[in-house]
Amino acid sequence: MRLVYIRLGSVHANTLQVRRTASLLLTGLIILCVGVTGHHYWPSLAVSAGALVRAAAPVVAGMADSAPLQAVAETASDVQELAAAALAQTPENSTRIVEMGNGRTFSRMLLDAALPSDDALAAAAALGKVYDHRKLKAGQEVALSITRLGENRTLTGLAFSPEPTKEISITRQPDGSFIAQMKNTPLERQRIAARGEIRGSLYGAGEREGVPRAIMAALIRAYSHEIDFQRDLHAGDKFEVLYDQPTAKDGTPVGQGVIIYAALIIRDKVRPLYRVTFGDGAVDYFNELGQSVKRSLLRTPVEGARVTSGFGMRIHPLLGYSKMHKGVDFGAPTGTPIYASGTGVVEEARFNGAYGRYIRLRHNGRTQTAYAHLSRFAKGVYAGARVQQGDVIGFVGTSGRSTGPHLHYEVIVDRKQVNPLSVSMPTGRTLEGKTLTQFKQGQTKIKQEFQNLLEKDTASQNNAQVLSPEPEPKPKPVLVAQKS
Ligand SMILES: [Zn+2]
């Protein structure tokens, strides 16, 4: 504005020239202002450009006081017409979804959407202040808000969700800069019911029903006190599980869920367990009689393993003569995690001759467990360290005198090895009195909830199948626990 005023003041030599110059200057002013304001802030253009024309006129009228500039006033109406013609094209706002291409940068993606490079670079720079560009993956969808006026396209904002619990929005400010904001979307808790039949493995059965692997692992851990998955489970057996799963807004499971109720139906015998939270915050699983499933030792300290050699006399595979086998061998691939059978203290964690890498835990004054032929020890496992039941203490291997990857597992009671599969293991806590009554009432409610959720789920699945007659192929089950 200032520039224009000065220019106008300096041209008064001849009226025609003033007319032309003023007209050009004013047209330039309109274009300049539309250009600057519009380019940086289209959304308010519909209002501001109209106001701009009105604002331009009084300036011209004010100048018209001096005689040589009288003509300028006459041109004002021309200018208004010109501006009106330009404004006849109303800005169009639209939203467009674009996708990050493979190996493309964020700004490149915006340029590909035919946005001005200034906008693309400024928006990308704003994003960099709240989120690491390198974490963006190909296929990331981004919703762009674009304003279009004639040939000009302007980015007014964009929004996307780079992670299930994160939302980023970038908005254009009135001064043309961009501000990015990232907010964490709260997790929702979804209660989910699933039931499935076991064919190859429990994991596979869970996978077919869409149960997260972490939930199946928790289920296996909860039952590992009393069930030998290799010997007790058979094809045709069933599982049920009711669990709380934290999920993002779009339903994506996030983090570890919690099992509320589970059941294994083994040869038509139902073996349920229920989660109980005590007043002091302690959590435990109980069978229908109110007995804790937690025993002093795990029956199987390695997941998905099968017994390859039992306890007792046998021909030693390497030595070739009869020898007492003082433990149980579980065949499992190298690297399979080994769990502490019970809570206690590490007595030994070292290379121990024929045992190879060897761990011995002391659980109480009378009971120890030993683990041999490991490929490596878990972090923090050394003599004197404390471990909790279920902690990973090491990994299956074939160190020492061994024919292949397996865990040699011993239970030692009063300094003598006993058969881990038949040793009587005292049960944990038992519910009694009023607590037991409440627990039994709770069972009925939980089972009802499980049934209702399962029916609802089945109904919605049936509806989905009507809509898409060809359901997506289900992922192949992963065989973890082999069946005999
Ligand atoms: Zn052995």
Query: What is the residue-wise DSSP string for 378-440?
Result: PTT--TT-EE-TT-EEEE-B--SS-SSSEEEEEEEETTEEE-TTT----B--B--HHHHHHHH
Q: Within this chain, do residues 209 and 285 fall inside the same structural domain, yes or no?
A: yes
Residue 31 lies in a domain: yes
* Residues 220, 301 contacting (CB under 8 angstroms): no
Residue 33 lies in a domain: yes
C-alpha 309 to ligand 1 mean position (Å): 7
Q: Within this chain, do residues 80 and 114 fall inside the same structural domain, yes or no?
A: no
C-alpha 387 to ligand 1 mean position (Å): 23
Residue 36 lies in a domain: yes
What is the predicted pLDDT for the residue at 5?
A: 33
C-alpha 412 to ligand 1 mean position (Å): 14
3-state DSSP call for residue 463?
helix
Q: End of a domain among 396, 418, 440?
A: 418
Q: End of a domain among 360, 395, 418?
A: 418
C-alpha 209 to ligand 1 mean position (Å): 36
Q: Within this chain, do residues 410 and 483 fall inside the same structural domain, yes or no?
A: no
Report CA torsion sign: 373, 377, 382, 388. Answer: negative
Q: End of a domain among 400, 418, 436?
A: 418
Q: Which amino acid is at 254?
A: V
C-alpha 319 to ligand 1 mean position (Å): 13
Helix (H) or strand (E) holding 16: helix 15-33
Q: What total number of domains does the chain contain?
A: 4
Say which CATH number the domain at 478 has. 3.10.450.350
Residue 253 lies in a domain: yes
C-alpha 408 to ligand 1 mean position (Å): 4
Q: Within this chain, do residues 290 and 340 fall inside the same structural domain, yes or no?
A: no
| Nearby residues for ligand 1 (ion, Cβ within 5 Å) | 327, 329, 408
C-alpha 329 to ligand 1 mean position (Å): 5
Residue 300 lies in a domain: no
Instruction: Give the tens place of pLDDT for each residue, 48-103.
Output: 333 333 333 333 333 333 444 444 444 555 555 555 555 557 888 888 889 988 88
Q: Within this chain, do residues 378 and 345 fall inside the same structural domain, yes or no?
A: yes
How many angstroms separate the CA atoms of 261 and 272, rounded? 7
C-alpha 331 to ligand 1 mean position (Å): 10
Residues of the chain under the 50 pLDDT cut: 1-74, 465-484
What is the predicted pLDDT for the residue at 88?
A: 56
| Structure token pair of residue 294 | 């937690």
* Cross-strand bridge partners of residue 295: 427
What is the predicted pLDDT for the residue at 436?
A: 92
b/e string for 200-226 if b means 16 or more Cβ within 10 A?
bbbbbbbbbbebbeebbbbbbbbbbbb
| Structure token pair of residue 97 | 């979804």
C-alpha 406 to ligand 1 mean position (Å): 8
Residue appearing with tokens 């692992």: 217
Q: Within this chain, do residues 481 and 379 fall inside the same structural domain, yes or no?
A: no
C-alpha 307 to ligand 1 mean position (Å): 10
C-alpha 389 to ligand 1 mean position (Å): 22
Q: Nearest to residue 61, comparing CAs of 47, 80, 48?
A: 80
Q: Within this chain, do residues 105 and 77 fall inside the same structural domain, yes or no?
A: no
What is the predicted pLDDT for the residue at 260?
A: 96
C-alpha 52 to ligand 1 mean position (Å): 89
Q: Within this chain, do residues 140 and 288 fall inside the same structural domain, yes or no?
A: no
* Residues 273, 292 contacting (CB under 8 angstroms): no
C-alpha 313 to ligand 1 mean position (Å): 11
Pairing type for strands 166-172 and 178-184 reads antiparallel
| Structure token pair of residue 86 | 């330009």
* Residues 260, 199 contacting (CB under 8 angstroms): no
Q: Within this chain, do residues 432 and 402 fall inside the same structural domain, yes or no?
A: no
C-alpha 199 to ligand 1 mean position (Å): 29
C-alpha 40 to ligand 1 mean position (Å): 75
* Residues 156, 169 contacting (CB under 8 angstroms): no
Q: Within this chain, do residues 347 and 374 fall inside the same structural domain, yes or no?
A: yes
Domain of residue 232 covers 191-294+428-484
What is the predicted pLDDT for the residue at 441?
A: 93
Q: Which amino acid is at 378?
A: A
Residue 301 lies in a domain: no
* Cross-strand bridge partners of residue 153: 148
Task: Kindly calculate the radius of gyration of the chain based on its CA atoms and give it in whole angstroms.
Answer: 37
Instruction: Give the tens place of pLDDT for each residue, 208-245.
Output: 999 998 899 889 888 876 676 777 788 999 999 999 99
Say which CATH number the domain at 331 has. 2.70.70.10
